């Protein structure tokens, strides 16, 4: 059973615009079928492009880590108190919130507008299918 997605759905999953997906289809970066109706992108093909878009950063970009879930984004908010800091990062369509020591946030120079990579490592990850 092959899952396929409309252009708008593919765009939402990749965190890009509908027009970007259409350009990728026209430029043969992403293949789509048009069986008399709206264009459909094959799920496996969409997964391939998603993987290309979010490859692991090149060596030296971040410190070595066993975690493989890295989301590059921009810091949108930092709330500091005397001991802790709450840092919000927008990584594509995802909003991530990290709690860390104020000292760590200060050492990293985290402020709104700074590029950052959120690294996620968990002992359990739940997967839901809509």
Residue 85 is predicted with a pLDDT of 96
Q: For each of the chain's 130 residues, which pLDDT tens digit applies?
A: 568 889 998 888 888 889 999 999 999 889 888 888 888 988 888 888 887 876 655 555 655 556 667 888 888 999 999 999 999 998 888 888 999 999 999 999 999 988 888 888 776 666 676 6
Among the four given CATH numbers 2.60.40.420, 1.25.40.340, 1.10.1660.10, 3.40.640.10, the one describing domain 4-53: 1.10.1660.10
Residue 66 is predicted with a pLDDT of 60
Residue 79 is predicted with a pLDDT of 97
Residue 63 is predicted with a pLDDT of 52
Query: Any residues with CB less than 8 A from the CB of 40 and at least 6 apart, and which?
Result: 4, 5, 6, 32, 33, 34
Instruction: State the Cα–Cα distance between residues 103 and 82, nearest whole angstrom.
Output: 9
Residue 99 is predicted with a pLDDT of 93
Tokens representing 35 are 């069986």
Residue spans of the domains in the chain: they are 4-53, 69-120
CATH class of 69-120: mainly beta
Residue 12 is predicted with a pLDDT of 85
Residue 62 is predicted with a pLDDT of 53
Q: How far is CA 97 from CA 39, 60, 61, 94, 110, in A?
A: 36, 24, 21, 10, 13
Fold: same for 4-53 and 69-120 = no
Cβ atoms of residues 93 and 73 within 8 Å: no
Residue 100 is predicted with a pLDDT of 94
pTM over 0.85: no
């Amino acid at each position: 059973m092959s899952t396929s997605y409309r252009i708008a759905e593919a765009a939402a999953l990749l965190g890009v615009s509908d027009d970007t997906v259409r350009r990728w289809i026209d430029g043969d970066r992403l293949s789509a079928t048009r069986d008399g109706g709206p264009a459909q992108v094959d799920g496996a093909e969409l997964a391939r492009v998603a993987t290309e878009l979010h490859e692991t950063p090149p060596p030296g970009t971040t410190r070595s880590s066993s975690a493989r879930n890295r989301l590059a984004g921009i810091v949108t908010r930092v709330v500091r108190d005397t001991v802790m800091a709450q840092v919000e990062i927008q990584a594509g369509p995802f909003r991530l919130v990290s709690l860390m020591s104020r000292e760590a946030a200060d050492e990293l120079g985290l402020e709104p507008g700074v590029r950052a990579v959120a690294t996620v490592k968990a002992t359990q990850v739940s997967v839901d299918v809509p």
